[in-house]
Homo-oligomer: A and B are copies of this chain.
Amino acid sequence: MVKKVSLKDIALKIGVSTALVSYVLSGNEEKGRVGKETAEKIRQVAKELNYQPNHIAKSLKTGKTNTIGLIVADISNPFFASIARAVEDESGKYGLTTIIGSSDESPEKLKNLVEVFIKRQVDGFIISPPDHSEETIEYIISLGIPICLIDRHFDHVKSSYVVTDNKESMQKAVSHLLGMGYKNLAFIAYNSTLQHMKDREQGFLDATSEIYSQVYKINFSKQHDELASTIEVILNEQKADAIVFATNTLSVAGLKYLTQHKVKIPQDLNVMCFDFSEVYDFFYHPIIHVKQPIEQLAKESVTILFNQMKEEHLQQLVLNSELITKTRVMV
């Protein structure tokens, strides 16, 4: 391992103090009132020796690590993977490094991850919180650590967040379905107290006040079985003409179930999905879905967090989503 060049090496070589070198290289010449020639010389030698500042020493002194913690439900879920990718790219632009964790929708796991990340002294958090994790979020806030929630938030927790306009998106999307002539809708969502889930449900209810519809909620932990039995009920008892799925996992799992049970979409039953999935491209007919602005969500969350790390102000952002009714054209 080659020995690292430190401020001291530069200082020694030129014959000045490390203080001067620090002033110049951290861009505080005026503050240190460094002479022009000396400054030039320092910069030159620094380049010559290929000086790389030691992040860790800097962190120890300044208390800032320039690292942020991103915690999502599951990084192997394409939705969150896309968020992670965009957060990673965006935070890089600000000189921030991102460490990632998956909560598996468990408040306990979230708490553990948060503790690990705090020990690592992250400067801020971007979190897509699981159900019943208010305490941990409030704990972070109480420590004065900047945080920006993403995709989900708690109405009664005072924090920054970036979310989609879930209620309006859902309402518009379902209205579109009604406009197509469907009259007996089923809505499948997770059993959750999270605001985004409640909003999506409300959007569905607002849009379906004049027709027959049913809302089904399934538990995240037993979703496989419950989804299957729910769809059975919808097909055999409710005899709905379209199903609205509230999330991307539900959408994909639902489509899979329908496909494997030879239910033709949209002939036998139509669907309305939330979030984009690659699998939509494998249907001959377009899968109507609400496309959240994932990249924008991620980028804005980084920006909001970054601002919050400098100044002390919260920001809430609600972004519009897009209703996709046609298959992308294959060029």
Minimal Cβ-Cβ distance residue in B for A52 = B119
Contacts of A54 in B (CB 8 A): 60, 121
**Assuming A98-B100, A224-B331, is B65 touching A56 (CB within 8 A)?**
yes
Count of chain copies: 2
Q: In the assembled complex, how far is the CB of residue A272 from the closest CB belonging to chain B, in whole angstroms? A: 18
A327 to chain B, nearest CB (A): 8
Given contacts A81-B75, A98-B99, A259-B282, contact A121 B56 (CB under 8 A): yes
B78:A76 contact, CB within 8 angstroms: yes
Tell me how far the C-beta of A113 lies from the nearest C-beta in chain B, rounded to whole angstroms: 9
**Chain A residues within CB distance 8 Å of chain B:** 1-2, 52-57, 59-60, 65, 74-78, 81-82, 84-85, 88-89, 92, 97-102, 116, 118-121, 143-145, 224-225, 252, 255-257, 259-260, 278-279, 281-284, 330-331
Rounded to whole angstroms, the CA-CA distance of A168 and B300 in the bound complex is 46
Between A and B, 12 residue pairs with Cβ closer than 8 Å are: A54-B60, A55-B119, A56-B65, A57-B60, A76-B82, A77-B81, A78-B81, A81-B81, A98-B100, A225-B331, A278-B279, A279-B279
Separation of A65 and B57 alpha carbons in the complex (Å): 12
Which residues of chain B come closer than 8 Å to A100, judged between CB atoms?
84, 88, 98, 100
Q: Which residues of chain B come closer than 8 Å to A283, judged between CB atoms?
A: 282
In the assembled complex, which residues on chain B have CB atoms less than 8 Å from the CB atom of A82? 76
Q: Say whether A120 contacts B55, CB under 8 Å.
A: yes
The answer to whether B55 touches A75 (Cβ under 8 A) is: no
Q: Is the CB of A85 within 8 A of B97?
A: no
